[in-house]
Structure 1
Amino acid sequence: MSRLSRVLAAALALALSAPAASSAADRLEKVVILSRHGVRAAMSTPERLEEASARPWPRFEVPAGHLTARGAQLVEQMGGYYRALYLAEGLLKPGDCGQLYVWANVTQRTIATGEAYARALAPGCPVVVNTVGEGRDDPLFEPVKTGAAKLDPALARAAVAGRVGGDLAAWSASHRQEVETLDAFLMQCPKGPCAASPGKRRALDARPGFAEGGEMVELAGPEAFASGITESLLMAWADGRDFAGLGWKGVDAQGLTPLFFLHQAEFDLRLRTPYVAKVLAGGLAQRLLATLEAGAGLVEGDAAAMGPDEAKIVLIAGHDGTVAALGGLLRAEWSLPGYQPNQIQPGGALVFERWLRDDGQRVIRVRYTGQGLEQLRAATPLSLSAPPLSSPVFIPGCGSATPAFDCSVRDLRAVLDRNLAVGP
């Protein structure tokens, strides 16, 4: 990369790191943050992951899927940034313990993420992380499993297949170069496809199509194979694990970005397809909008709203699938340097802000924000002068030609109603 290219890339990253400017007369009234949990241990065992690589995998000190100590630290850094930002905006008041409401899914990693956010957003306050309770499933995150929403499996498969011309094999074949790139990385050869490795699981060998079983649409093939592997890679990288000491080469921020392509392709097709997204995120979207409307005289006593009306920040700790499905439902897109389009890194979040503009109109401003790969790796302290990455999000049918793509509350509700009313 030339010096000019590096300067331009740095300038772009800085521009994407700051929320869009608002008029001095605009007043921020409420914020809802839908966040993925922080860095967790891999879901698969190291032994299972090593069946797909030429080198050993790093070990975590916590059980599979649990938030790591570094993960909690990184979430606290994000929470501290949000606190500094919203103190500066006048939304939060020092010492007020009633300003934050937290809801989390019932997994260890989401509850621990909510706790980390609470420590940073409301220091010294006895904030409760609300859940549906141990041993229960939450319809906000598991609408199909809990019966809160019904998915027609045949229709869901048709909707997914319809996005790729009904031919999953052809769609997968178009990713051959990315598959070979991943193969070269995992097998640690100069260029993929690598020579045969007896006993190894390879993305090259995975047959595309629909996977059988389960209550949701599941994909098979190189993209699905890569999805879990590259997520484990991202988590280990963000947790500061030592790859070089285990003999790995090419594990750096520049080398990781292209490896995420297959995961994102699979995630987009499986979770952002409009019919699937409607089923998975419809209930969440309605509750989120009701929460944004609460306390502004827009609705009276809406039972769907989360937390007390006087809460200034409502933090929802969920999963990457939670964020992806909501993005798909709203037809929202985002992009941050170092990641694939619409990728959701640990601690990444869709942030919804309700503003009272100086012209008297209440609008919603949405952005996607999260730490960059190097910020995660180095656990870089965050501040208003050294913020995480951020990108304003345009909501089709609602967003306007303003720096933050302002969307009136009325228009956002209309968009949601339309997207929930249509078929696949």
Structure 2
Amino acid sequence: MTQPATTSHCRALGIPPQPQPPSRRVLAPHGVRRPDVEPTRWSDVARLPSAGPVRTAVARHLVGGALERLALTAPGGTTGPQLTLHDPEAFHRRIGRHGLIGFGESYMAGEWDSDDLAGVLTVLAAHVDELVPAPLRRLRGLWVAARPAGDRNTRAGARDNVQRHYDLSNDLFSAFLDPTLTYSAAVFTDFPARFEALEPAQHRKIDRLLDLAGVGEGTRLLEIGTGWGELALRAAARGARVTTLTLSAEQAALARERIAAAGFTGRVEVQLRDYRDAEGCYDAVISVEMIEAVGAEYWPSYFAALRRALAPGGRIALQTITMGHQQMRHTAATHTWISKYVFPGGLIPSRRAIAEHSAAAGLATIADHGYGEHYAETLRLWRERFTARRDLVTDLGFDTVFQRMWEFYLAYSEAGFRSRYLDVRQLLLTEGTRP
């Protein structure tokens, strides 16, 4: 998630939110709009879709049956996580029309809640292949939407996609990240580490990547995806000379402030530049959770840029989220809730895709280590910090729908790692033999 992302419809919202408790939310006349959702900001959340009685009935049968089978809506409650429906008709209607996008939008609208959101989503992620009967999976194309052409990561598109997430507000990210402002998986000791602070765990992750890339005194380092500058700061403290690239103007501004405050202005240069336009030759290249923002169409360009920047004998350290290859292929062709609301243009690669594209660029994988459970813990801590600072987020101008969207995003991501649907890897690449 460290990759850099247009000023969003959510940024600087201006009008103070006027939320109602989810259990009191009601449909507008004829079930057309949610009266407590701002339609100009959240058109698809404010408006209930026209699903038709057949689609709604099918969703009620399939989804309702799955939730009961997984004991997520058992009457009287169970010892496991519970999903509470405030508006079953709207819930099933959204899912019947828009599938998993509708599921997420229904949460944003306050039509359902949970006493353990990450727990419910983890159960669903762990049984994702059982939720729809096998014969109906072949009809998937009837209810899933294709990715919008406007989300493609051309140079202009990548800039817009980056800004839509990462330029929301530095203060928003500061509200839930640790003081290092590191927006990627930490690495904990004595796992599970319920009592270790995020800051040392993030420094441990960064130091592992710097060690993997062989960064030390005099190293010429290229970082693709600046974040808010913590990796560049730690590399400079080792004596490296760092060029770091980002497409986020807000990240770049704060990273430069932090670098100047640390006295490393002469050692670190922050450039607002696309990775495809990287210049120079470097002993080491590091990119932390940026490939997920590239898009499958441009993975060849990404790995070609890494290879082009590498000096003879140089090393590339990557940190990347991964998913299974078949799941990746399905996701690549689908407009998802995450791609609609959180990471437009993004796609998590599989390890196979990384291996194939890096090899095609003349790179060999020397090391590959996974830390999936560490990411689940990182996301849990971020989510707890975010929910504990709701008043601050409200004061920043982010309304109730945004806050529910963000909580769902963090819990959804945590569930992906807890269920092992997702993993995060640290890879070492060096110059290999071109095929």
TM-score (norm. length: structure 2): 0.25
Say which structure is richer in helix.
2
